[in-house]
Amino acid sequence: MINNYSNFYTKREKTSTLVKSLQEPESGNINNSNQSRTIVVTSGKGGVGKTTTAANLGMSMARLGYRVALIDADIGLRNLDLLLGLENRILYTAMEVLDGQCRLDQALIRDKRWKNLSLLSISKNRQRYNITRQGMTNLVKSIQDLGYHFILIDCPAGIDVGFVNAIAPAKEALILTTPEITAIRDADRVAGLLEANEIYNVKLIVNRVRPDMIKSNDMMSVRDVQEMLGIPLLGAIPEDSHVIISTNRGEPLVVKKRLTLSGIAFENAARRLVGKQDYLIDLETPYKGIFKRAQDFFFGSEDVD
């Protein structure tokens, strides 16, 4: 049974915003191009989908016409470049920028498909570099000055010094979890840490959802997870083997011509994140309805000016 976790979470105030978040689309649209939003993608448990989410949300927002910079802050274990198929194009990283060996724009690698999407890696693989909180903040400030609308920071695993430094410049956070009790407990811990660091604008993405398992009462529903954490829900992403295929191809799901359910769900989350008036896709409704809605996303292209 999956409904026995009600006493699990105690410390943080539960806002119980599920019904609200299901009914009311997200707000927070960028109205003027001088404003920039810096959002850190976090989780407590590793391997729950931070990098996958950063790549897909970044690509989706770029497709909507925003200028997006992705920062791979997973120092020593970077892989956002692989998901975007940009691994051969990284000559410089933030390390060289901070050491004065290159300009910032040389380290910001432009995506091949969408030139308004850029990737900055903090360090090369197997290279250790202890970027400070101040270093991260300076870096983000410089990227904002280049006119980016969104800066998404892909956090390292864990909640040690790498995490603390990576969240320094962010005003907003996304917390990723899967519908498993271990991941949810760790997500709750991260929520507390974000709050302690004065990041109050936090939204939840539940990844690797299996509607069939929810139906047979073998997995917590998205609603269960949201209620436990008490964080407004931005999106729910289904378990989908296409995620692995897209990782291996270096091609985010959201660029595919033939839609997959996970691609649609990421697109939906991205649209809600930028403030478009989209309702949350309910993974537990029949697929037919979801594909019907997906058509609205892709045939009503709305760009920012």
- Interface residue list for Mg ion (CB under 5 A): 50-51
Q: By CB under 6 A, what part of segment 179-208 binds ligand ADP? A: 207-208
Residue of the chain from 247, 251, 255, 282 that contacts ligand ADP (CB under 6 A): 247
The smaller minimum CB distance to ligand ADP, of residues 146 and 244, is found at: 244
Residue of the chain from 81, 186, 227, 239 that contacts ligand ADP (CB under 6 A): 239
224 binds, among ligand ADP, Mg ion, none (CB under 5 to 8 A by kind): none
Q: At which residue do the structure tokens 């904002």 appear?
A: 144
> Angle between the 287-299 and 261-273 helix axes, to the nearest 10 degrees?
50
What is the rounded distance in angstroms from the CA atom of residue 239 to the CA atom of residue 261?
9
The DSSP code sequence of 236-288 is EEE--HHHHHHHHHT--GGG-SS--HHHHHHHHHHHHHTT--PPPP-TTS-HH
Q: By CB under 6 A, what part of segment 53-92 binds ligand ADP? A: none
With CB under 6 A as the contact rule, which of the stretches 17-25, 137-145, 184-192, 243-251 interacts with ligand ADP? 243-251
Residue of the chain from 28, 47, 147, 286 that contacts ligand ADP (CB under 6 A): 47
* 243 in contact with ligand ADP (CB under 6 A): yes
Q: Tokens at residue 120, please?
A: 């900055």
Binding flags for ligand ADP, 127-166, as an x/- string (CB under 6 A): ------------------------------x---------
Q: Tokens at residue 297, please?
A: 């996303």
259 binds, among ligand ADP, Mg ion, none (CB under 5 to 8 A by kind): none
Q: Tokens at residue 56, please?
A: 């897909």
In whole angstroms, the minimum distance from the beta carbon of 154 to ligand ADP comes to 7
The annotation status of 40 as a binding-site residue, yes or no, is: no
Q: By CB under 6 A, what part of segment 249-288 binds ligand ADP? A: 262
In whole angstroms, the minimum distance from the beta carbon of 43 to Mg ion comes to 9
In whole angstroms, the minimum distance from the beta carbon of 24 to Mg ion comes to 30
The annotation status of 10 as a binding-site residue, yes or no, is: no
The annotation status of 47 as a binding-site residue, yes or no, is: yes
52 binds, among ligand ADP, Mg ion, none (CB under 5 to 8 A by kind): ligand ADP
Reduce the DSSP state of residue 153 to 3 states and report it. Answer: strand
| Cβ-proximal residues to 32 (8 Å cutoff; 6+ apart), any chain | none
CA-to-CA separations, 11 to 7, 72, 158, 187, 196, in angstroms, rounded: 11, 31, 20, 13, 13
According to DSSP, the residues that pair with 202 across neighbouring strands are 173
According to DSSP, the residues that pair with 176 across neighbouring strands are 205
According to DSSP, the residues that pair with 201 across neighbouring strands are 172
Strand order in the sheet with 150-154: 109-110, 117-121, 68-72, 150-154, 37-42, 172-177, 201-209, 233-238
What is the rounded distance in angstroms from the CA atom of residue 176 to the CA atom of residue 17?
17
The smaller minimum CB distance to Mg ion, of residues 50 and 271, is found at: 50
240 binds, among ligand ADP, Mg ion, none (CB under 5 to 8 A by kind): ligand ADP
Report which residue type is found at 245. I
**Which positions lie near ligand ADP, rule CB under 6 A?**
43, 46-52, 157, 207-208, 237, 239-240, 243-244, 247, 262
Binding-site annotation: residue ranges for ATP: 45-52
